[in-house]
Chains A and B, each alone.
Chain A
């Protein structure tokens, strides 16, 4: 039973199609990164998963259940950090977590949760005075209560400094290792790259790609580039040009830069070696993540 299963999911607001025929399955125990530029329909999709917004068409199943018909079962097993999460200004951080614990009828220590997300020292301050980053940490603590089977985190690193974002990723990994499934959205590929087992890229309400980061790279023929330092660049270049899949070679004295395309790095190195050229050094140059993301979200990919 997949924790998340979306079928033919669409949502139209008036004339605007926010989500368009989305099919998506998240497997148990994986970290799924839901990527897309702002306005791509990520939050609308998450809102439909949580029954905040009703689909125009299609179905949502969490743990095989329709969240609308089984609100208690589904929500009991799910921890959520919504986008633009708002606090109760007049209540303390601790009281917030206690409220979640009471609501889910759990037996847990609110302070332990606040400690995990690094906000324990502000536990007895009113949350209205928290910074965005602190609210985000509080929201994460609230989502983690009760060791939920599924964590849905909408833009969890909003307002966090790089250190906070790293801690957030650590928590996400720990939760996955505990056995939870994590679904989180972001508009920044770098943030999901480090933790995600799989990434889905949403563009204008459609899923334009779904794979691991490496899979995404090879799908657009970006095996990246490889820079090789050799004793004879001319001979090496001739050898490399015979390797299937190579898309380009630039030579400099004692150095060649190969766009490896569909080819495998090892094949290229072997070809040079077989030509009797000595390899002093090599390093790979991959497409920067931001560039990779741009390729999927701004070019015609359908």
Chain B
């Protein structure tokens, strides 16, 4: 448990970063604006003959900004964690203490994830309160599931950021790599899916019904897995819009989505550790 001391130090150090608070405030503001817009204009969003939006609809609507914005904060929180200490020379102090390199990576991860969790939880608490006030009641259990999955999703990016941070000696390179990670997952992944679609089906317009492999590739990215997991675990939400009258195949289920999230969380971190363990500082 000795990484706990590092985690506490990380939290008190990183949480004093002004930039982080500005970005967090922006995140909360953004989530509120999106939700406010949905509540105010929900009639525009819902077809005239449909039921008015429920609390769950609002949550699901707000998840897309979380999916876009949380990775940015997470990468920002994490990318300097190790490379920054390597550049400043404080890593040598840290590792001269009774810690292994694994302790350092885990301590950094926990500490920075806690920093990440603060604005995220704050945003969810405010959102929950506002939905309760303006839209309607919801199941606390469902909401907790959403929050836990959102935290897991965000920590995937903290974990990737720490992994990359342990692999380079320059925070400039680490910063550029963060930008790359963001682009790959949140921009290029969609393009990649479309390219595959074109290669396999000969069209860039998803045919109807959507091929299962396409859904699977979409779920292999963290944000796809996150979205599928949230919707899959919420009762009464059908992600696939009636494609699967029975249950979807196992590889498209919410459990598969959860597994994908966990894999993104664990595999880059583990590979980075294997490298960091043996490297000359």
A52 near B95 with CB under 8 A, answer yes
Query: Looking at the complex, which one of B9, B87, B92, B95 makes contact with A99 (CB distance below 8 Å)?
Result: B9
Chain B's nearest CB lies how many Å from the CB of A200? 21
What residues of chain B lie closer than 8 Å to A82, measured between beta carbons? 89, 92-93, 96
Return the chain B residue nearest A152 by Cβ: B96
What residues of chain A lie closer than 8 Å to B85, measured between beta carbons? 86
A95-B92 contact given A53-B281, A75-B98, A104-B97, CB 8 Å threshold: no
Expressed in whole angstroms, the Cα–Cα distance for A87 and B9 within the complex equals 13
Expressed in whole angstroms, the Cα–Cα distance for A83 and B89 within the complex equals 8
Chain A's nearest CB lies how many Å from the CB of B164? 20
Query: Looking at the complex, which one of B17, B92, B99 makes contact with A71 (CB distance below 8 Å)?
Result: B99
A53-B88 contact given A72-B98, A75-B96, A90-B16, CB 8 Å threshold: no
B64 beta carbon closer than 8 Å to chain A: no
A102 beta carbon closer than 8 Å to chain B: yes
Chain B's nearest CB lies how many Å from the CB of A272? 56
A50 beta carbon closer than 8 Å to chain B: yes
B170 beta carbon closer than 8 Å to chain A: no
Interface residues on B, range: 20 to 34
In the complex, chain B residues 8-66 whose Cβ is within 8 Å of any chain A Cβ? 8-9, 12-13, 16-17
Per the CB 8 Å criterion, the residue count for chain A at the interface is 32
A71 near B100 with CB under 8 A, answer yes
Task: Provide the A258-290 mask, 1 if CB < 8 A to any CB of B, else 0.
Answer: 000000000000000000000000000000000
Task: Provide the B126-161 mask, 1 if CB < 8 A to any CB of A, else 0.
Answer: 000000000000000000000000000000000000
B90 beta carbon closer than 8 Å to chain A: yes
In the complex, chain A residues 71-123 whose Cβ is within 8 Å of any chain B Cβ? 71-72, 75-76, 78, 80, 82-91, 95, 99-100, 102-104
B246 beta carbon closer than 8 Å to chain A: no
- In the A-B complex, list the 7 residue pairs whose CB atoms are closest, starting with the nearest: A86-B88, A86-B89, A80-B96, A82-B92, A86-B90, A90-B16, A52-B281
Chain B residues with CB under 8 Å of chain A are 2, 5-6, 8-9, 12-13, 16-17, 85, 87-93, 95-100, 278, 280-281
